[in-house]
């Protein structure tokens, strides 16, 4: 693994292009076509950049590392103190950011088509959400991790509030109040880590913890771990804070929720890996993470089962499947981490499929409540096929991608001697099927009473149809050839397990 | 017996600010009051971070011309806390602005500032 | 040895705490915003005493003008007095 020894060109572009697009789109007042053209072009450029970019580092302060004798080195393999803000673009970052760019492209295409009013600021918030998730994914520095998490949570609030409606604004207000609490906690954690180790760079901090004698300072480490975990729970919407996050997921427009859930999955992965790298050797650290994950899975799925609205069911399922991602990461073994990361990729894709179907149900003028709807299957047969495929993927039925990652997760749990965890994972996938099928039966398949008057078929818009076909294709391809995605993930998982100080 | 230096006192003040702010955010019923409580909370966190770097009888960490280089590391206050606080102040301002905007929007919709009335009704 | 500067610093510690409580006990929201601004002045002085003068300047501007300004704008757009009941 010979890393590039010059600064990578693609990382600044991935940061700067969303910001520039946000500014330009914001300035284009009431010019829908121009906004549409600019945002789609920008999202396409981001997708191309994330796909073709080589792997490597970007040092924003110019100097890559300082060796023991005080000289600078450009070689990533020589031991050196980094001392600088460091961004890393590797295989894990590539697959995550490519998937997110792909989703952004279609989400922007759909939302600019379906919104009628002036939507420049809304699209700008979308791009900034992308930016914050990409930055959290790539950064190797506690300080900028903190800033990216803060920006990300403010943007979530903005995006939800922009989706209109009193419920959305309430959800945004509550979410922002708690973001204020957890952001302060993250600042304190950062200060404590800086105080103990002396370095903000994660690589340096881990090296410093391993080299220096920290006996007598473990309580400080635990406090900073607790605060970091608070922000992990908060940004990803894990168990004790799940009502806020599911509120957010359900009250935004479904296409905005596609971006929101992608951002929170990426944040979960990134902060989870940082927690594992920095605190994985502390006693009880992984156990704490594991118990939070199991709690999230169980509570999320139970809440999903008792809901009576398709949007609420999806919101709680997203929360519950976040638990599936974190359970893999917090197992801490190679197979567990690979399973968690793969689950994050799959989850983002099949949940987007279901969310876009939900958006279409709303677009056809139907309520998403289970009680007062039915008979959509006759009028929109194609949509019914897509939503059933999405359900099968989400509940881990073999030819789809959910099966592969859940299989890896169950194997990892059994390998660790934790059959209970494997049972919970199985229960989540079965209950997902029940919860979703209940909604689908009553919205699509059940013969509706008042719906019989119109008999013409609903037509899916072209962009949405393309998006749905592409998502189904990806779920099938990843389900049949999981190696396509696993090749990107194994290297990162190996690094986290064996050389945690390497980003 | 802990000596009541400026550092311990300001830690105490910071802890009080955090507690007052958190209690205010949780228990006060007025949304604007909650907002003010949040500014107090963030002030408390800032104060704690700044007091972490204080050195008794130290100097401001700026190397002035003519100062001795050997004493500087021992005397100067630590700068990691202040470095974070500067960002935290900016984040506090932006959070306050977003919260204020949301409060105004919600007031126009519901005609009240009482949190118990505005924020109720999760499942409609 | 406690000089005048330090005495003021100790007073400011007390002032910050009292200001925080006083701001939250007001029924008049506008007055609460002013008091939180005054508390910020005390905090800015305390930052200065704690050897961070740059932060003192920032806090003095942000805490006494910008933050209360935003809050006062919000109050002007909503209502001035806290609702009883």
| DSSP letters for A248-271 | HHHHS-HHHHHHHHHHHHHHHHHH
The domain limits of chain C are: 4-77
**Are there at least 3 beta-carbon pairs closer than 8 Å between C and A?**
no
- pLDDT for residue A194: 85
The answer to whether A113 contacts chain B (CB < 8 Å) is no
pLDDT at A451 over 60: no
Q: Which residue has the tokens 């697959």?
A: A95
Give the tens place of pLDDT for each residue, A155-172.
999 999 988 788 888 899
| Exposure string for A352-381, b = 16+ CB within 10 A, e = fewer | bbbbbbbbbbebeebebbbeebbbbbbbbe
pLDDT at A76 over 70: no
> Band of the pLDDT at A1, cuts 50, 70, 90?
very low
pLDDT at C12 over 60: yes
Q: How far is Cα B28 from Cα B25, in angstroms, rounded to an integer? A: 6
Name the residue among B25, B84, B95 with its Cβ closest to that of A190: B84
The sign of the torsion formed by the CA atoms of A325, A328, A329, A330 equals positive
Which residues of chain A have a CB within 8 Å of the CB of B119? 170, 173-174
| Binding-face residues of B in 9-68 toward C, CB within 8 A | 9-10, 12-13, 16-17, 20-21, 24, 28, 30, 32-33, 35-37, 39-40, 43, 46-47, 50-51, 53-55, 58-61
More confident residue, A464 or A61: A464
- pLDDT for residue B2: 66
| E strand or H helix that includes residue A89 | strand A86-89
- For C67, residues 6+ apart whose C-beta sits below 8 A from its C-beta are B39, B92, B93, B96, C36, C37, C40
| DSSP letters for C34-80 | HHHHHHHHHHHHHHHHTT-HHHHHHHHHIIIIIHHHHHHHHHHHS-S
> Band of the pLDDT at A182, cuts 50, 70, 90?
confident
Distance from the B122 Cα atom to the nearest Cα atom in chain C, whole angstroms: 22
Q: Do A158 and B94 touch (CB under 8 A)?
A: no
- pLDDT for residue A428: 92
φ and ψ of A194, to 5 deg: -60, -40
Give A2's Cβ-side CA count (13 Å radius): 0
The domain limits of chain B are: 6-59+68-117
- For B116, residues 6+ apart whose C-beta sits below 8 A from its C-beta are B29
Query: ipTM of this model?
Result: 0.90
| Exposure string for A400-421, b = 16+ CB within 10 A, e = fewer | bbbbbbbbbbbebbeebebeeb
- pLDDT for residue A471: 93
- pLDDT for residue A63: 66
Instruction: Report yes or no: C36 and B39 within 8 Å, Cβ to Cβ.
Output: yes
Distance from the B109 Cα atom to the nearest Cα atom in chain A, whole angstroms: 7
Distances (CA, A) of A39 to A111, A123, A333, A392, A494: 11, 8, 40, 33, 37
Q: How far is Cα A251 from Cα A328, in angstroms, rounded to an integer? A: 29
Q: Do B93 and C43 touch (CB under 8 A)?
A: no
Which pTM value belongs to this model?
0.91
pLDDT at A5 over 80: no
Give the tens place of pLDDT for each residue, A375-408.
788 888 888 899 999 999 998 888 888 898 999 9
Percent of chain A with pLDDT over 70: 95
pLDDT at B123 over 50: no
How far does Cα A383 stand from its chain's mean position?
25
Strands A72-73 and A65-66: antiparallel
Q: Which residue has the tokens 């009080």?
A: B16
pLDDT at B122 over 80: no
More confident residue, A80 or C78: C78
More confident residue, B56 or C66: C66
Q: How far is Cα A206 from Cα A125, in angstroms, rounded to an integer? A: 34
Q: Do B53 and C51 touch (CB under 8 A)?
A: yes
Q: Do B49 and A166 touch (CB under 8 A)?
A: no
Instruction: Report yes or no: B29 and B116 within 8 Å, Cβ to Cβ.
Output: yes
| DSSP letters for A425-490 | HHHHHHHHHHHHHHHHIIIIISPPSTT-S--SPP---HHHHHHHHHHHHHHHHHHH-THHHHHHHH
The answer to whether A141 contacts chain B (CB < 8 Å) is no
> Band of the pLDDT at A466, cuts 50, 70, 90?
very high
Q: How far is Cα A284 from Cα A291, in angstroms, rounded to an integer? A: 10
Report angle CA C28, C31, C35 to the nearest 5 degrees.
135
Give B94's Cβ-side CA count (13 Å radius): 16
More confident residue, A326 or A239: A326
Distance from the C17 Cα atom to the nearest Cα atom in chain B, whole angstroms: 6
CATH code reported for the domain at B6-59+68-117: 1.10.287.3510
- β-bridge mates for residue A386, sequence order: none
Name the residue among B84, B95, B109 with its Cβ closest to that of A166: B109
Lowest-confidence region among A35-39, A70-74, B14-18, C41-45: A70-74
């Amino acid at each position: 693994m010979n890393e590039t020894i010059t600064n990578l060109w693609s990382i600044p572009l991935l940061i700067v292009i969303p910001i520039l697009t946000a500014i330009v789109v914001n300035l284009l007042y009431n010019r829908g076509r121009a906004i549409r053209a600019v945002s789609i072009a920008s999202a396409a450029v981001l997708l191309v950049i994330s796909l073709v970019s080589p792997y490597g580092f970007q040092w924003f302060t110019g100097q890559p590392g300082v060796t023991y004798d005080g000289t600078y080195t450009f070689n990533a393999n020589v031991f050196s103190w980094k001392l600088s803000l460091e961004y890393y673009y590797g295989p894990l970052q590539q697959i995550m950011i490519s998937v997110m760019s792909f989703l952004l492209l279609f989400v922007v295409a759909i939302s600019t088509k379906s919104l009628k009013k002036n939507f420049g600021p809304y699209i700008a918030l979308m791009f900034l959400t992308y930016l914050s998730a990409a930055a959290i994914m790539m950064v190797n520095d506690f300080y900028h991790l903190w800033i990216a998490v803060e920006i990300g949570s403010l943007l979530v609030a903005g995006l939800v509030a922009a989706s209109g409606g009193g419920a959305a604004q309430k959800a945004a207000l509550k979410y922002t109040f708690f973001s204020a609490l957890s952001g302060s906690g993250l600042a304190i954690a950062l200060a404590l880590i800086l105080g103990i180790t002396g370095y903000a760079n994660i690589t340096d901090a881990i090296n410093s913890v391993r080299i220096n004698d920290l006996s007598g300072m473990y309580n400080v480490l635990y406090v900073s771990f607790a605060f970091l975990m608070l922000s992990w729970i908060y940004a990803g919407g894990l168990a004790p804070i799940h009502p806020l996050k599911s509120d957010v997921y359900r009250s935004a427009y479904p296409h905005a929720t596609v971006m929101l859930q992608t951002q929170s999955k990426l944040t979960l992965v990134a902060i989870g890996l940082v927690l594992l790298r920095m605190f994985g050797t502390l006693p009880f650290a992984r156990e704490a993470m594991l118990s939070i994950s199991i709690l999230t899975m169980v509570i999320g799925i139970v809440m999903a089962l008792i809901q009576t609205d398709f949007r609420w069911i999806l919101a709680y399922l997203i929360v519950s499947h976040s638990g599936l991602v974190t359970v893999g990461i917090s197992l801490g073994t190679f197979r567990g981490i690979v399973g968690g990361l793969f689950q994050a990729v799959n989850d983002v894709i099949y949940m987007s499929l279901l969310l876009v179907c939900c958006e279409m149900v709303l677009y056809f003028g139907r309520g998403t409540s289970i009680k007062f709807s039915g008979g959509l299957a006759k009028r929109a047969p194609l949509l019914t096929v897509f939503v059933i495929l999405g359900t099968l993927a989400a509940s881990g039925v073999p030819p789809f991608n959910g099966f592969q990652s859940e299989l890896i997760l169950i194997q990892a749990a059994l390998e660790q001697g934790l059959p209970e965890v494997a049972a919970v994972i199985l229960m989540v996938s079965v209950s997902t099927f029940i919860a979703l099928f209940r909604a689908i039966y009553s919205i699509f398949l059940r013969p509706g009473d008042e719906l019989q008057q119109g008999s013409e078929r609903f037509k899916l818009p072209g962009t949405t149809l393309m998006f749905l076909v592409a998502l189904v294709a990806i779920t099938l391809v990843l389900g049949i050839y999981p190696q396509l995605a696993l090749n990107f993930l194994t290297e990162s998982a190996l690094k986290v397990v064996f050389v945690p100080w390497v980003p | 017996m802990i000596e009541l230096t400026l550092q311990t006192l300001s830690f105490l003040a910071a802890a009080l600010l955090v507690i007052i702010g958190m209690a205010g955010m949780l228990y006060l019923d007025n949304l604007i009051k909650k907002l003010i409580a949040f500014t107090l909370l963030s002030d408390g966190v800032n104060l704690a971070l700044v007091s972490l770097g204080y050195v008794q009888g130290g100097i401001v960490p700026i190397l002035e011309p003519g100062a001795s280089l050997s004493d500087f590391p021992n005397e100067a206050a630590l700068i990691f806390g202040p470095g974070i606080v500067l960002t935290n102040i900016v984040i506090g301002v932006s959070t306050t602005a977003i919260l204020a905007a949301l409060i105004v929007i919600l007031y126009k919709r519901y005609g009240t500032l009482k949190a118990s009335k505005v924020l109720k009704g999760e499942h409609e | 040895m406690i000089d005048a500067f330090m005495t003021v610093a100790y007073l400011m510690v007390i002032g910050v705490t009292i200001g925080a409580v006083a701001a939250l006990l007001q029924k008049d929201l506008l007055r609460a915003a002013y008091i939180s601004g005054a508390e910020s002045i005390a905090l800015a002085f305390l930052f200065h005493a704690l050897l961070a003068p740059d932060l003192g300047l920032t806090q003095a501007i942000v805490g006494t003008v910008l933050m209360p300004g935003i809050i006062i704008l919000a109050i002007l757009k909503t209502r001035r007095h806290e609702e009883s009941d």
